[in-house]
Amino acid sequence: MSQTEREVRVRFAPSPTGPLHIGGVRTALYNYLFARQHGGKMILRIEDTDSQRFVPGAEDYINEALAWLGIGIDEGVREGGPYGPYKQSERRDIYREHVKMLLDAGKAYIAFDTPEELDAKRAEIPNFQYDASTRMAMRNSLTMPKEEVDKLIADGEKYVVRFRIDPGRDVAVDDLIRGRVTIKSDILDDKVLYKSADDLPTYHLANIVDDHLMKVSHVIRGEEWLPSAPLHVLLYEAFGWADTAPAFVHLPLLLKPDGKGKLSKRDGDRLGFPVFPLEWHDPKSGDISSGYRESGYLPHAVVNFLALLGWNPGDDTEIMTMQELIDKFSLDHCSKAGAKFAFEKGKWFNHTYLQMLPDEELAALFKPVMDAEGIDSSAFSDEYIAKAAGMLKSRINFVRDLAEQARFFFVAPESYDAKAVKKRWSAEMPAIMGELCEVLESQDDFSCAALEPVVLKWIEDKGYHLGNVMNAFRLTVVGECKGPHMFDITELLGKEETLRRIRAGIERIQPAE
Ligand code: GLU
């Protein structure tokens, strides 16, 4: 059956060994985009066969992160589906049966070598590898009589099952991004597929068996798994599944922002960006690692940013909805070369998406920030908060930046910027501001359109310096000489509050010497 006729079924197969890394999120995203584009299915499989590395909370974290980002799952532990269970630790019987199939077919064998015996061999033979050149000198079912093997097993001796790899073969991996990669089977060792000690398969066996049974059509995963692919090809063949083996897609690495080497958590700590989607509380060490969500990123800004790390739509379009990403995604435009993790670009995406958010939604996100900053959000109407946020959103990368930028809309100045006072508050300014109060007092319509011409005309009639007067005005209202258009500010603050602030300024600002 050719790949094109086949129903697209992809899987994201994380191991719950800690928080999902941002590279894993990108892998999940590309799987999701590919599935949706082809009207296929997205599977979430939990690969928890390595009991040593299992971390409590990691599976919930994965679910929560994917849900936050809008990466939908069709089949999985929580969603169910026709090929479950979707958690490998619940599939022991299936793996046991498949290990037996390989043993019966002579494609795998049982090995009793203890860790000490293996260490001794490594010391004896330089570059020791358990393979065709050494296996006949080891303690395994190829070198021992069947009765002895059966007896050891009956006695409860620990053993592993190893894959028997024939030397002298060219193994070809066809990767839809990289093309054909061929290696010699001689370089592969007889990989452990199953361990009797915990009655669990290793990653390789479980991964292959599940991809086959779950009818996975494309294995889309990180480049770090490319070295496992030849072994996987041989396993499909050993099971007789070569015809329906999934196509491989190994995604480019995420590189450090300066491009040298693989992105690590340390880069994030060093340069100040999260490498995890959500904040992670390490259950053992108690350490907290920052997450995109808690750092104030909008989920779709993260999705859009990640989508372009290793793929491009073929033109310079950057801002794309999830549906546009689904429509445009293509493996042909995925790169082989690693993608630099340009985290500043991530901020730009967040800034851009904040501009597109309706002011009411921005206000809803801002309210908890206000409360956390000691500004009682319930003292202001939703409309007021929305207008204040809307006026300042062009200046922010994160919702939390509004706390500083928009503070003056909620709290009258408690102090005045010293530099601005020095520059703008000359000896005659208190009197001029007093006159301004009279002008404003007589004005009932405080809209920007109505007030602005009145004030400007007064300045002109009096022959005052426009910049000096407007900046002094701003200083009393805002506390410093920056912010949005002055008459937009006064429109929102209203007459009473504006006058109160000017009068407080006249009283409290000490003219510069
Ligand atoms: N469990 C592997 C991981 O943690 C899956 C690799 C694969 O997708 O085959 O990434």
Residue type at position 381: S
Beta strands in 152-225 (DSSP E): 160-163, 170-175, 179-184, 192-195, 200-201, 218-222
- What confidence score (pLDDT) does residue 390 get? 98
Domain-by-domain residue ranges, the chain? Answer: 9-76+210-252, 92-195, 265-356, 358-401, 412-513
Ligand 1 pocket, 225 CB below 6 A?
A: yes
**Cα distances (angstroms) measured from residue 232 to each of 135, 187, 210, 212, 312:** 21, 14, 12, 11, 29
Q: In the numeric block, which tokens belong to residue 272?
A: 């100040």
Q: Parallel, antiparallel, or unpaired for β 160-163 and 108-111?
A: antiparallel
Query: Taking residues 353-378, what's their average pLDDT?
Result: 97
Residue of minimum CA distance from atom 3 in ligand 1: 14
CA-to-CA distance for 506 and 437, rounded, in angstroms?
Answer: 10
Q: Are the C-beta atoms of 173 and 181 separated by less than 8 Å?
A: yes
Residues annotated as catalytic (active site), given as ranges: 265
Whether 1 has a pLDDT exceeding 50, the answer reads: no
The 10s digit of each residue's pLDDT in 490-511 is 999 999 999 999 999 999 998 7
Right CATH number for 358-401 from 3.30.70, 1.25.40, 3.30.160, 1.10.8? 1.10.8
Q: Name the CATH architecture for the domain at 412-513.
A: Orthogonal Bundle (1.10)
Phi/psi for 503 (5° steps) reads: -65, -40
**How far, in whole angstroms, is CA 290 from its chain's centroid?**
11
The 10s digit of each residue's pLDDT in 49-66 is 987 888 999 999 999 999
Query: Taking residues 252-280, what's their average pLDDT?
Result: 94
Ligand 1 pocket, 15 CB below 6 A?
A: yes
Ligand 1 pocket, 221 CB below 6 A?
A: yes
Distance from Cα 116 to the centre of ligand 1, integer Å:
30
- Average pLDDT of the chain, as a whole number: 96
- What confidence score (pLDDT) does residue 4 get? 54
For every residue of 387-412, DSSP letters joined together read HHHHHHGGG-SSTTHHHHHTGGGTS-
CA-to-CA distance for 289 and 291, rounded, in angstroms?
Answer: 7
Alpha helices in 163-298 (DSSP H): 203-213, 229-239, 265-271
Q: Which helix (H) or strand (E) holds 78?
A: none
Per cent of the chain over pLDDT 70 is 99
Whether 2 has a pLDDT exceeding 60, the answer reads: no
Q: What is the CATH number of domain 92-195?
A: 3.90.800.10
- What confidence score (pLDDT) does residue 512 get? 67
Ligand 1 pocket, 47 CB below 6 A?
A: yes
Distance from Cα 221 to the centre of ligand 1, integer Å:
7
Ligand 1 pocket, 13 CB below 6 A?
A: yes
Q: Are the C-beta atoms of 192 and 110 separated by less than 8 Å?
A: no
Right CATH number for 9-76+210-252 from 3.40.50.620, 3.40.50.300, 1.20.140.10, 2.60.40.10? 3.40.50.620
How many residues would you count in the chain? 513
**Cα distances (angstroms) measured from residue 249 to each of 159, 214, 338, 428:** 34, 17, 14, 73
Whether 513 has a pLDDT exceeding 80, the answer reads: no
Residue 324: pLDDT band (50, 70, 90) is: very high
- What confidence score (pLDDT) does residue 52 get? 83
The 10s digit of each residue's pLDDT in 380-431 is 999 999 999 999 999 999 999 999 999 999 999 999 999 999 999 999 999 9
CA-to-CA distance for 53 and 144, rounded, in angstroms?
Answer: 33
Query: Taking residues 330-336, what's their average pLDDT?
Result: 95
CATH level 3 topology of 265-356: Glutamyl-tRNA Synthetase; domain 2 (1.10.1160)
Distance from Cα 491 to the centre of ligand 1, integer Å:
57
Residues near 130 by beta carbon (within 8 Å), at least 6 away in sequence: 111, 113, 118, 138, 162, 189, 190
Mutation probe of ligand 1 site: the residue of 27, 46, 47 with most atoms within 8 A of C-beta? 47
Whether 92-195 shares its CATH topology with 265-356 is answered no
Residues near 492 by beta carbon (within 8 Å), at least 6 away in sequence: 384, 387, 388, 391, 409
Report the atom number in ligand 1 closest to the C-alpha of 12: 8
Q: Taking CA 167 as the corner, what is the angle to CA 164 and CA 168, rounded to the nearest 5 degrees?
A: 150
Q: In the numeric block, which tokens belong to residue 245?
A: 């083996």
Q: In what order do the strands lie in the sheet with 247-251?
A: 75-76, 41-44, 9-12, 218-222, 247-251, 170-175, 179-184
Residue of minimum CA distance from atom 2 in ligand 1: 14
Q: Are the C-beta atoms of 440 and 494 separated by less than 8 Å?
A: no
Query: Taking residues 129-152, what's their average pLDDT?
Result: 97
Q: Are the C-beta atoms of 405 and 489 separated by less than 8 Å?
A: no
- What confidence score (pLDDT) does residue 433 get? 98
Torsion sign over Cα 357, 360, 363, 365: negative
